[in-house]
Amino acid sequence: MWGSGVGVRNLGLEMGRFLGKKPVMRVLAAASCFSHWTLMFPGEGARPKEDYAMSLATPEASSASGQLKSLQVPVPTVAPLPPTPTAKETVGSSQTPVLEGLPPLGTSPLLSQGACGHRTLGIIGGKPAPERKWPWQVSLQLRGRHRCGGSLIAPQWVLTAAHCGILSFHSFREFTVMMGTTYLYSHCKTTVVVPVKHIKSHKDFDWNLTPNDIALLQLAHSVNYSAYIQPVCLPRKNFEVRPGTQCWITGWGRTLEFDPASMSPKLQEAEQLIIPLKQCAVMVEKTSNKSGNRVQKGMVCAQNIKSEGPCRGDSGSPLVCQFQTSWIQVGIVSWGDRCGLKEVPAVYTDVSFYKDWITARMSQASGLDSGFLILLLCLLLPLGILATL
C-alpha cells in the first residue's frame, strides 16, 4: 500500500495498493520470525496497478456501543447481532457514521461460524502486539511468491478477488495460502501455509470489465484458529456502510506505484473513509480517460485524505469496518486508476452484494443445500462452535 498501500487492479490502474507522494502506511511489526528471507520481486495480482504505503500499527482506541471505530481490542465472543429491528434503520448516533441495512435482532451473520471478527492483542512491553491485529489477512502465493491478498472467512475458505488471475494461466495446484504472520518472506513460529484445493471465481467476471470481481478459495484442509489466525465476519445481504465511516485495509502491496521492488515485506494498514457510489463515479470519470459506467452496484468506494490506500499486490485483500466488538469485511480490494492520489478513490467488491453467491458456492463444495447451510450456521452460532465446511 502506498501511505498504506494495498494492491489493486488498474482499469486504468489495477488495484492492489494505493500510492501517495511518500510512504505513509503503517507497517505491522512481526514477532518471533526468522530473518533469513531473501528479497525477490514477488508476483502481483493481474489487475492492480496502484501503490500506497501504509504506516506503523498503532494502539487501538475503544469505540462506543453501536458505533464504528478505527481500532479496538475486543474480547472474543460470538459474531455481533445488531439491535435494530428494521432493515434501513441506522445504528448509533445520527452524527457518527455507522453500518446500515442490518437485519432484525435474532438473525445470524451470513457465514459466521461461531466467533469471528475478533482479535487477541496481547500486550508486549506496554503496546499491543501488532502481529495479531489483522488475524484474517492471508497471502495468496503462486509457487511460493506473493500474488494477492485475501481473507480467512472459515476454517477451509478464503475470500479474494477474481482478477488475481487464479484460473487464467495457472493450475490451482500451484497456489498456496500463507497466514498467521505479518512477514511476507520470513518464517514465524505462527506461520501456516496451506495448499489450495479448489478455486471458485464468479462466472460473470470479465477481465475487461469491473463487476463480479470475487473468488473463493477452498483450502486442502482446515486450519486451526489461534491468536494469530482468526476468521473475519461477513455481512448479511443488504448490509450497508454509511458514507464517512472509518474502515481499514491491509496488505503487502507496493509502496511506490511504479517500482516493482517496493513490495512491502511487512504487512501494512491504511485507514479508508467510505464515500457514496455516485460521488465515486463522478470522481473516477474526472480522473480517468476511460468512458462508461465503471462504478456500479455491487461495489464499495473509499478514499484517504492522506493518500493512503491499495496498490499492486494488495488485490483481494479485505476492507474491514468495526461494529461494536467485531470486525466485518465490507469490501475486497478490486480496482482503481492510480495509487496514492486522494482525488482517486479505491473501488472494492461489495461483499454483502454477493451474499447469495458466497453461500451457494460454499454449500455446493460441501454437498449441502444453501438453506441447510444457513440453518446449520444459525444453530452453531449460539454455541460458539467453529465448524468446518
At 16, list the grid cell: 492492489
Kindly give the interhelix angle for 355-366 and 370-380, rounded to the nearest 10 degrees: 90
Reported as type and span, the H/E element at residue 74 is none
The pLDDT value recorded for residue 291 is: 66
- The answer to whether the beta carbons of residues 254 and 51 sit under 8 Å apart is yes
Residue 150 inside a domain? The answer is no
**Would 217 be classed as within a structural domain?**
no
3-state helix, strand, coil in the chain (%, to 5): 15, 30, 55
Among the residues of the chain, which ranges form H helices?
277-287, 355-366, 370-380
Instruction: Please give the DSSP secondary-structure letter assigned to residue 208.
Output: T
CA distance 7 to 312: 3
Give residue 96's pLDDT. 37
| The pLDDT of residue 9 | 56
Please say if 204 is a catalytic residue: no
- Give the H or E element holding residue 136: none
- For 126, residues 6+ apart whose C-beta sits below 8 A from its C-beta are none
Is 51 considered catalytic here?
A: no
Q: Among 118, 146, 163, 202, which one carries the catalytic annotation?
A: 163
E strand residue ranges, 17-94: 26-27, 33-34
Specify the pLDDT at position 322.
93
Q: 315, 326, 352, 363: which one is catalytic?
A: 315
Q: Assess if residue 167 is contained within a domain.
A: no
Any idea what the CATH number is for the domain that residue 17 is in? 2.40.10.10
DSSP 8-state symbol, 280: H
pLDDT in tens, the chain (389 residues): 654 334 455 543 334 333 334 443 555 544 456 543 332 333 333 343 333 333 333 333 333 333 333 333 222 223 344 434 333 333 333 333 444 444 332 333 334 445 788 876 654 444 445 788 999 999 999 988 899 999 999 999 999 999 887 655 567 788 999 999 999 888 788 999 999 999 999 999 988 778 999 999 999 999 999 999 999 999 988 888 999 999 999 998 876 665 566 678 889 888 899 999 999 999 888 877 666 688 999 999 998 877 677 777 788 999 999 988 899 999 999 987 777 666 788 899 999 999 999 999 998 887 755 555 555 554 444 333 333 33
Answer yes or no: 187 catalytic. Answer: no
Alpha-carbon Rg of the chain, whole angstroms? 19
Identify the CA nearest to 299 among candidates 374, 218, 211: 211
Which of the following is catalytic: 51, 213, 314, 350? 213
Q: For position 379, what pLDDT does the model report?
A: 45
- 170 within a domain of the structure (yes/no): no
Cβ neighbors of 204 (< 8 A, separation 6 or more) are 211, 212
Instruction: Please indicate, yes or no, if residue 80 is contained in any of the structural domains.
Output: no
- 266: in domain: yes
Specify if 176 maps to a domain: no
Spatial CA neighbour of 266 closest among 23, 21, 19, 50: 23
Q: Does 40 reside within a domain?
A: yes
Q: Is 383 helix (H, G, I), strand (E, B) or coil?
A: helix
Q: How many domains does the chain have?
A: 1
Q: What is the pLDDT of residue 237?
A: 87
Q: Which domain holds residue 22?
A: 7-58+244-317+328-347
